[in-house]
Amino acid sequence: MKRALVASAAGICAVWFLALAPARPAQPARRPGFVDVAPRSKISYTSNNSFVGRKFFPQPMCGGIAVFDFDNDGRMDIFFTNGARLPDLKKTDPSYFNCLLRQKSDGTFEDVTARAGLTGDHLDFNFGVAVGDYDNDGYGDLFLCSIGKNALYHNNGNGTFTDVTAASGIGGKPANTLSIAAAWFDYDNDGLLDLVVSNYTLWSPKTDARCMMNDRDYYCDPRRYPSVPHQLHRNLGKGKFVDVTAKSGFAAAPGKGMGVSIADFNDDGWMDVFIANDTEPNSLFMNQKNGTFEEKGLGLGVAYNENGQVGSSMGSDAKDFNNDGKVDIFYNNLMGQIWQLLRNRGDLFEYYSSLSRMQKLSMPYSGWSNGFIDYNNDGWKDIYSSNGDVDMMSAKSPQHDTLFENVDGKSFVDVSGEMGGDFLRKGYQRGSAFCDLNNDGALDIVVTSLNERPRILMNAASAGNHWLMLSLVGHKSARDAIGAKVKLTTASGRVLYNHVAVSVGFMSSSDKRVHFGLGAETKINSVEIRWPSGIRQTLKSLAVDQLLMVDEPEK
Amino acid sequence: MVRPYAVMALMLFCNAASGQDNPERILQGAIVLHQAGEAERAIPQYRAYLKLRPDAVDARSNLGVALASTGRYRQAIAEYREALKRRPRDPRIRLNLALAHYKLGQISDAAAELSALHHEQPADRQVVLLLADCWLRRGEDRKVIDLLAQVEKQDQSDLAIAYLLGTALLRDKQIDHAQQMIDRILRNGDSAEARLLLGTAKLEALDFEAAIADLAKAAELNPRLPDVHSYLGRAHIQTGDTAAARLAFQKELELNPNDFESNLQLSALLKQDQEYDGARKLLDRALRVRPGELRAEFQLASVNLTAGKLDEARAGLEAIVRKAPQFVEAHISLATAYYRLGRKADGDREKALSQKLTMEQRARQYQEKIE
């Protein structure tokens, strides 16, 4: 990437313009498709859930993804989690190893897992991965969720990682707790990233329930298993964490956690937590600004569907899909259920799947990971979902991904069919992460599928729309600035919102940079940032089509 | 509607005397108008006659018929009841009374009158069919099966019986027996009734696309077939096509405004689309058809809750959980209402109760599965 230092137009603080691409003339919008570039690289990783006929309960959840620039070379890299042999839960050979792919300057990837110390050969079956710079040293660290011991890897800044789980005090959990996903965020606004872990149930190979029909195994209904509390770990600094699950109020609201989404839902400057619970009421932990949370999912209208029933809540994302300044919630479900789009009204969330046509669009699909992404840079966040049924029971079980295009923040249309053959590959897709791999301003997607090679779906970036990408660097706030809210106003007066979010979808971490599609707009009047510290910053008169690094000012 | 006035008219013509104030002449005029399709003009004539001859049962019955034909079913019911006081065993008047209740969506009252008629005249096929239809509408499928099973054995050529019985059997999950009814209808060629039953069976079997194909065909063959659009709407809901579902329910309600399921299901769709007033109107009608029906009462409370009418929602939900303490979704919604009303302690209590009930329900289901 070309690095051009350009003077800041209106920064109160230091603002580096990392790339300034020539503004493209406005063109009629076209739908960009996606091309899988994984085959261009030598990638040995295939998610391996140890399926050899006997079905174990956790097997459908394999293949977490993190996209982050682990070596700070300006290019996004990719990390995949992997399973373990069942029932002994050991990564007995490299086919079960986790995988770190470093992006080279030509856009291909090299496997640097062993060199980085990330094979995870001492771990067991890994699920989700959360990226966060917990020690504010400028390098993204990794937290891995597992059937057994969870793991915290410290990024040493030299291309290697060290497992610091024991020393950090963060890996502990009740025996046999399945931890599925996690999210870094600074719940007490002290400038240090804390960690919430979405726990699913109690399970071990010994307690695995076996379900059979006509002498054929099938994955048992999750309702056979108990709910468990999610966990909250407070960052004490200096690499130490303390479990505040009970003290914070998290212990009072158990669930079967899948996706976890961090956002400031009531716009009070404090991060809240949404957790999609499979076959249990979803949780919405509202930050009480005193180190505690109150679970308010029921009163706020996100715990159940509009009929007071639970669904198979899977992955989740929380973004402002209609640019009204309030963060909305999306989570997907299994086929025959309805994916839930919940519009934030300010005082509560309202069911919006019917009015938005999500109800009809989603019915045939079993969704896992997902995310609000503006794939065509028109300024409206679309909804991507990686799909595939839990089990392999019918011809409808293997499914392709879906992309539902946002029409003016009101409704969605299915444009999956126009996304290309690589996008439409059928399978049992699981994790997904969103990123701009080649820094061209168009969001790309990395997807895992059970027991298949992953796809690295490059966005053709052919929509002809403009964009802005912000890389926020916190100083008083945690360096990753997770939760920082950004309001962008274009020259024509159009207002767009986004915030820094890393844990997106299911078991996955996305590019932490904040992306805005701008449509045909060629000038930006202002960008207003509210940092987690409470500091507000305004940048004025910005050019489009650039990647902008913004430091948090002192005041 | 049974029209008994023709015979009476002939009799009256013979006895008619001359003169404007002559009661018989007034009645004659009423009947002539009525027969000519001028019910509106006949009604005051009947009333004038009944002022002079309040005990004239046939004239009162005719007045009921005229009122019913102009949509004034409540007034018609009053006249029929008055007539029945004087001639309680008249089957024609009772049948008309039942039909008026039916038209008003007072299905329970219609069923009560038809039950009485059926008791008196068990062989009357029209009464049997109407009674079965009423019970179907009330969801009393077992009663329909009991009523029609014997009739069906005696007469396997009556496709209406096969159709009603097949519908009840499908709803009661007696699929094999229902299939016999479907086959019987199919042997008579492709018909709307057969397609409807096939579609219903596929709906029960969760094969929604196939159900839609059959139900759409049924609607094409006979757009006026009762229930066909209602079932089509239900199938569309299952595929998420709420726009098609709305259209289907609306069509059903144009033909049969008192179809319970269409009122209920369409109200849910309107609620989802935030058309709360429309949803309430439909639910009011559904509750007239099936007073006290829990699903409709819950839906009404749910509409109020979503629309922000919190006190009305709370009152409705409190009544529901009193009536049905095991109704988990009602407890959940009541907890939501309490939270939104700022009654946290009550909300916490209801939430805990709903969780306890859910656990008990799951334990029962698990136990049943094992057994």
Q: State pLDDT tens for residues A111-123.
A: 999 999 999 999 9
Mean pLDDT of B20-32: 87
Q: Place B6 in a pLDDT band, splitting at 50, 70 and 90.
A: very low
Confidence of residue A29 (pLDDT cuts 50, 70, 90): low
Helix B57-69 vs helix B39-52: crossing angle, to nearest 10 = 150
- B interface mutation test: which of A307, A335, A353, A362 has the most B CBs within 10 A? A307
Please name the member of A308, A354, A362 whose beta carbon is closest to the beta carbon of B333.
A308
Amino acid at A53: G
State residue A6's pLDDT score: 29
Least CB-CB distance to B362: which of A223, A301, A355?
A223
Q: Taking residues A121-150, report their average pLDDT.
A: 97
Instruction: Return the beta strands (E) in chain B as ranges.
Output: none
Q: Which residue of A has its CA nearest to B270?
A: A354
Element (H, E) at A20: strand A15-20
Out of A308, A348, A355, whose CB is closest to B332? A308
Does B61 reach chain A within 8 Å, measured CB to CB?
no
Nearest to B272 among A224, A336, A351 (CB): A351
Chain B within 8 Å of A483 (Cβ-Cβ)?
A: no
Whether A436 has a pLDDT exceeding 90, the answer reads: yes
Question: Residue B9: how many CA atoms within 13 Å on its side-chain side?
Answer: 15
Residue B370 pLDDT grade (very low, low, confident, very high; cuts 50, 70, 90): low
Interface A-B, measured as beta-carbon pairs within 8 A, has a size of 63
Q: Are A438 and A448 in contact (CB under 8 A)?
A: no
pLDDT in tens, B216-235: 999 999 999 988 999 999 99
On whether both B68 and B119 belong to a single domain, the answer is no
Q: Is residue B348 part of a domain?
A: yes
- C-alpha distances out from residue B82 to B56, B88, B109, Å: 10, 10, 16
Residue A394 sits at the chain B interface (C-beta within 8 Å): no
Picking from B340, B344, B350 by the largest number of A CB atoms within 10 A of its own CB, the best residue to mutate is B340
CB within 8 Å: A307 and B302: yes
Neighbours of A407 (CB within 10 A): 14
Sign of the CA dihedral with A57 first, then A63, A68, and A71 last: positive
Instruction: Give the number of residues written for chain A.
Output: 555
Q: What pLDDT is stored for residue B15 in this prediction?
A: 43
Calculate what percentage of chain B has a pLDDT beyond 90. Answer: 60
Residues B230-267: pLDDT tens digits?
Answer: 999 999 999 889 999 999 999 999 998 988 999 999 99
Per-residue pLDDT, averaged over B130-159, amounts to: 88
In a domain, B92, yes or no: no
Q: Is the pLDDT of residue A229 over 60?
A: yes
CB-CB under 8 Å, A361 with B240? yes
- Residues of chain B with Cβ-Cβ distance to A223 below 8 Å are 362, 366
Residues of A (441-460) whose Cβ lies below 8 Å from B? none
Mean pLDDT over each residue of chain B, to the nearest integer: 88
- Which residues of chain A have a CB within 8 Å of the CB of B274? 350, 355
Q: Assess if residue B123 is contained within a domain.
A: yes
Q: Which of A303, A304, A360 sits opposite B240 (nearest CB)?
A: A360
Residue B261 lies in a domain: no
Tokens of B137: 């509408």
Q: Does residue B272 form part of some domain?
A: no
Interatomic CA distance for residues A85 and A516, integer angstroms: 42
> Please, which residues 305-334 of chain A have a Cβ atom closer than 8 Å to chain B?
306-309
> Which residues of chain A have a CB within 8 Å of the CB of B366?
223-224
CA-to-CA dists, residue A38 to A28, A80, A422, A442, B297, angstroms: 30, 13, 11, 17, 55
What secondary structure letter does DSSP report for A313?
-
In this structure, are B81 and B139 located in the same domain?
Answer: no
- Whether B265 has its CB under 8 Å from any CB of chain A: the answer is no
A187-228 pLDDT, tens digit per residue, is 999 999 999 999 999 999 999 998 887 778 899 989 889 999
User: Residue A497's CB: how many other CB atoms inside 10 A?
Assistant: 20
Where is A127: in which H helix or E strand?
A: strand A126-132
pLDDT band at residue B371, thresholds of 50, 70 and 90?
A: low
CB contact under 8 A, A223 and B271: no
Domain of B167 in residue numbering reads as: 109-189
pLDDT mean over B201-205: 77
Q: Rounded to whole angstroms, how far apart are CA atoms A204 and B138?
A: 49
- The pLDDT, as a whole number, for residue B369 is 65
**If you average pLDDT over every residue of chain A, what do you get?**
93
Q: Find the CATH number of the domain harbouring B16.
A: 1.25.40.10
pLDDT at A2 over 50: no
Decide: helix, strand or coil at residue A73.
Answer: coil
* Distance (Å, whole) CA A161 – CA A114: 10
Which stretch of A14-28, A31-45, A56-70, B307-321 has the lowest confidence by average pLDDT?
Answer: A14-28
Tokens of A81: 């989690």
**Class of residue A207 by CB neighbours under 10 A (exposed 0-12, middle 13-18, buried 19+):** exposed
| The total number of structural domains that make up chain B | 3
- With a cut of 60, say whether residue A11 has pLDDT above it: no
Q: Which residue out of A210, A256, A359 would a mutagenesis test of the B interface target, given it has the greatest number of B Cβ atoms within 10 Å?
A: A359
Residue B264 lies in a domain: no
The Cα of A213 is separated from the nearest Cα of chain B by a number of Å equal to 12
> Shortest Cα distance from B251 to chain A (angstroms)?
20
Place of tokens 């290697």: A160
Give the separation between CA A467 and CA A545, rounded to whole angstroms.
Answer: 5
What are the residues whose beta carbons fall under 8 Å from the beta carbon of A77, sequence distance 6 or more?
A: A67, A68, A69, A70, A71, A100, A101, A102, A103, A109
CA distance A55 to chain B (A): 19
The mean pLDDT of A340-351, rounded to a whole number, is: 96
Whether A42 has its CB under 8 Å from any CB of chain B: the answer is: no
Average pLDDT over residues A434-449: 97
Contact residues, B window 311-340, toward A, CB-based 8 Å cutoff: 328-330, 332-333, 335-336, 339-340
Q: Cβ contact (<8 Å) for B241 and A348?
A: no
| Per-residue pLDDT tens digits for B160-198 | 888 889 889 988 888 888 888 888 887 877 788 888 888
Question: What is the three-class DSSP state of B199?
Answer: helix
Interchain proximity B240–A348, CB inside 8 Å: no
Residue B51 distance to chain A (closest CA, Å): 55
Shared domain check, B54 and B7: yes
B217 assigned to some structural domain? no
For chain B, say whether A350 makes contact (Cβ under 8 Å).
yes
Match 């063109």 to its residue by tokens: A27
* Minimal CA separation from B273 to chain A, in Å: 6
* Domain end call among B130, B157, B189: B189
Provide, as residue numbers in chain A, all residues whose Cβ is less than 8 Å from the Cβ of B241. 360
Other Cβ atoms less than 10 A from the Cβ of B266: the count is: 27
Contact B190, B197 (CB under 8 A): no
Taking the CA of residue A351 as centre, how many other CA atoms within 13 Å lie in the half-sphere pointing to its CB? 25
Considering the domain architecture, whether residues B45 and B114 belong to the same structural domain is answered as no
| Ordered DSSP codes for A176-190 | TEEEEEEEEE-TT-S
B61 and B115, same domain (yes or no): no
* Domain end (from B141, B170, B189): B189
Task: Answer whether B366 sits within 8 Å of A224, measured CB to CB.
Answer: yes
Helix-then-strand count for chain A, H and E: 5, 39
Residues B70 and B8 in one domain: yes
Same domain, B140 and B71: no
Same domain, B359 and B312: yes
Strand A546-551 and strand A466-473: the pairing is parallel
For residue A351, which residues of chain B lie inside 8 Å, CB to CB?
272, 306
Asked if A354's CB is within 8 angstroms of B339's CB, the reply is: no
- Looking at CA atoms only, how far is residue B247 from chain A in angstroms? 15
Residue of A nearest to B246 (CA): A354
Q: Reduce the DSSP state of residue A145 to 3 states and report it.
A: strand
Check whether the bond before B44 is cis (ω within 30° of 0). Answer: no
Put simply, the answer to whether A359 touches B273 (Cβ < 8 Å) is no
* Domain boundary, last residue among B41, B70, B85: B85
Contact indicator for A463, A497 with CB cutoff of 8 Å? no
Q: Is A299 in contact with B306 (Cβ distance < 8 A)?
A: no
Q: Which of B240, B329, B347 sits opposite A359 (nearest CB)?
A: B240
Asked whether A457 and A447 are in contact (CB, 8 A), the reply is yes
Q: Would you state the pLDDT for residue B21?
A: 66
Asked if B340's CB is within 8 angstroms of A299's CB, the reply is yes
Give residue B20's pLDDT.
Answer: 52
Provide CB contacts within 8 A for A421, sequence distance 6+: none
Are residues A497 and A251 in contact, defined by beta-carbon separation less than 8 angstroms?
no
Distance spanning both ends of chain A, measured CA to CA: 31
> A351–B306: do the CB atoms touch at under 8 Å?
yes
CB-based contacts of B206: which residues, under 8 Å, 6+ apart? B238
Residues of A in contact with B238 (CB under 8 A): 336, 363
B330 contacts in chain A (CB < 8 Å): 308
- Between B198 and A324, residue with greater pLDDT: A324
A354 contacts B272? CB cut-off 8 A: yes
Residue B181: predicted pLDDT: 87
B250 within some domain: no
Residues B41 and B120 in one domain: no
Residue A25 reports pLDDT greater than 70: no
